[in-house]
Amino acid sequence: MSALGGGRVLAVDEDDDVLARLLVTLPARGFEVACCRTAEEALLRIPHEQPDVVLTDHGMREIDGIELCEQIVTTYPDIPVVLLTAFGTVDTAVAAMRAGAFDFIIKPLDIQVLATSLERAIRQRRLREEVSRLQQHSQRRSGFGDMLGQSPAMKQVFTFVEQTASLNASVLISGESGTGKEMIARALHRKGRRPDGPFVTVNCAALPGALLEDELFGHDSSAPARGAPDAHPGLLSSSAGGTLFLDEIGEVSLVLQAKLLHVLQDRRGRPVISEGEPTFDTRIIAATSRDLESAVRDGEFRSDLYFRLNVLGVRLPPLRGRGTDVLLLAQAFVDRYATEMNKRVTGFGPAVAERLLAYDWPGNVRELQNTIERAVALTHGHQLVVEDLPDHMRAQRPARRAGLSGDATELTTLAEVERRHIDRVLKAVGGSRTDAARILGIGRKTLYRKLRDYEKHQGHPASPSERH
């Protein structure tokens, strides 16, 4: 999906001066522009031009912009329509909404406002296409094993796994918490030399130093001084012939780091209570969410152990840096949890997709997974809607449209549409109620009354400072 600020625009207007201005100003903002003077011509050219958005004037003679919008929405429902109008009335706003217009812009044209509206329309269309594609192909894997991803950053990770899985060298996987470091470790194991051997994992941050040492190296029951009645071989021995995954290696104490270094150098590990030093045949894969290079500089992590672990290194990108992988993963989680919960949930629409893409995901893939599981559990429909998302994501609104001040999915009363439009017109004319009443097509007394009602019943300010 391409970035904002580009796309094909089909402009329809009987005014040659307006078309000439659009042909000059919109290409400077990255749009391709084709023009026609009538609705009939526009309907004939749409199949050939294949525009991303249609920009049409409201007041054309034979077929006006509202009628053209209705025909486009019926025949080409994926093409958004932005309406230009010289009549900034509530009736026009309501007619545009009913016709299915994405937005309406009041003349005289503000090119920046128009460009923003066109960008939003094109983005909405591409989001809808992306969501539709994901839903149609949700059963086809697009990634590597259990890891899904199409972004360049993840393709590099998958290439790394392919190139290094068959080697026996140690691997250090770094990345923020929740990015899938253990999944990459398991992929390296499955594609490695000994996929049938054990895959043993230990969270180094979850165990205190002495207990972690005992878990890794084990103990021998022949040493009564330690009070250990049962022998414990340790995870180094248990993982022989397979892989030992040391998660959060950056939390290991300096004392235990020295013992791990000895193991990696000599391929031998002495149990906590034992006179022997058995050899082991285990591939070591470590992972960390810390910056180990900084830890080495600060004296918190041994440089020699760092280099031993980081023979082969890979960094997993945060979810916020993976583009539309967010939607790919979200659709996969929808499919999974809909099946587990026996619910007929098929996916989500553009409004949800827009919020998923706009959110920073500090908890990365793990947070996304939890978010979608919760949404599937709560939803009452066949598609997730914005109301199914957590409060902090619902409150995070995407950039609003230039004309109708609200999201495409927002349902509200006509009174609220009227209030918003009056507020927008007042701001556009610098607070002049005289000019606002003229543009709105109502008397000044009517405007004053409406403003007083809004302030009294809804708590909205009456208006910007009045200028006659």
Residue 416 has what pLDDT? 64
Is it the case that residue 421 has pLDDT exceeding 50? yes
Position 379 confidence tier, pLDDT thresholds 50, 70, 90: very high
User: Which of 1-15, 84-98, 161-175, 316-330 is predicted with the least confidence, judged by mean pLDDT?
Assistant: 1-15
Residue 5 has what pLDDT? 46
Distance CA 351, CA 367 (A): 19
Mean pLDDT of 248-256: 92
Is it the case that residue 173 has pLDDT exceeding 80? yes
Q: Name the residue ranges covered by the structural domains of the chain.
A: 7-136, 152-316, 320-393, 414-457
Mean pLDDT of 252-277: 71
Is it the case that residue 160 has pLDDT exceeding 80? yes
Burial code of 49-73, b = ≥16 C-beta within 10 A, e = fewer? bebbbbbbbbebeebbbbebbbbbb
Fold: same for 7-136 and 414-457: no
Residue 287 has what pLDDT? 96
Rg (CA), the chain: 31
User: Which of 32-46, 48-62, 177-191, 232-246 is predicted with the least confidence, judged by mean pLDDT?
Assistant: 232-246
Is it the case that residue 38 has pLDDT exceeding 50? yes
Residue 139: both structure tokens together: 């059963």
Residue 334 has what pLDDT? 93
**Which superfamily does 152-316 belong to?**
P-loop containing nucleotide triphosphate hydrolases (3.40.50.300)
Mean pLDDT of 423-449: 74
Is it the case that residue 340 has pLDDT exceeding 80? yes
Residue 3 has what pLDDT? 37
Is it the case that residue 186 has pLDDT exceeding 60? yes
CATH class of 414-457: mainly alpha
Of 201, 144, 181, 159, nearest to 364 by C-alpha is 181
Mean pLDDT of 258-263: 86
Q: Where are the beta strands (DSSP E) in 232-322?
A: 243-247, 283-288, 312-315
| Segment 386-408, tens digit of pLDDT | 999 998 888 765 544 334 333 33
- Topology of domain 320-393, CATH: Helicase, Ruva Protein; domain 3 (1.10.8)
Position 200 confidence tier, pLDDT thresholds 50, 70, 90: very high
Round the average pLDDT of the chain to a whole number and report it: 81
pTM: 0.61
Residue 190 has what pLDDT? 92
Of 300, 49, 286, 326, nearest to 174 by C-alpha is 286
C-alpha distances (whole Å) from 118 to each of 82, 128, 300 are: 7, 15, 53
Neighbours of 288 (CB within 10 A): 25
Would you state the torsion angle of the CA atoms of residues 35, 37, 43, 47, taken in this order, to the nearest 10 degrees?
A: -20
Tabulate helix, strand, coil % of the chain (nearest 5).
50, 15, 40
User: Which of 27-31, 115-119, 215-219, 255-259 is predicted with the least confidence, judged by mean pLDDT?
Assistant: 215-219
C-alpha distances (whole Å) from 328 to each of 103, 151, 261, 332 are: 29, 10, 40, 6
Higher-pLDDT residue of 340 and 207 is 340
CB 444 within 8 A of CB 437: yes
Is it the case that residue 147 has pLDDT exceeding 70? yes
Is it the case that residue 272 has pLDDT exceeding 50? no
Is it the case that residue 121 has pLDDT exceeding 80? yes
**Which superfamily does 7-136 belong to?**
Response regulator (3.40.50.2300)
Q: Which amino acid is at 443?
A: G
Distance CA 412, CA 381 (A): 20
Percent of the chain with pLDDT over 70: 79
Is it the case that residue 277 has pLDDT exceeding 70? no
Q: Which residue has the tokens 């992972």?
A: 287
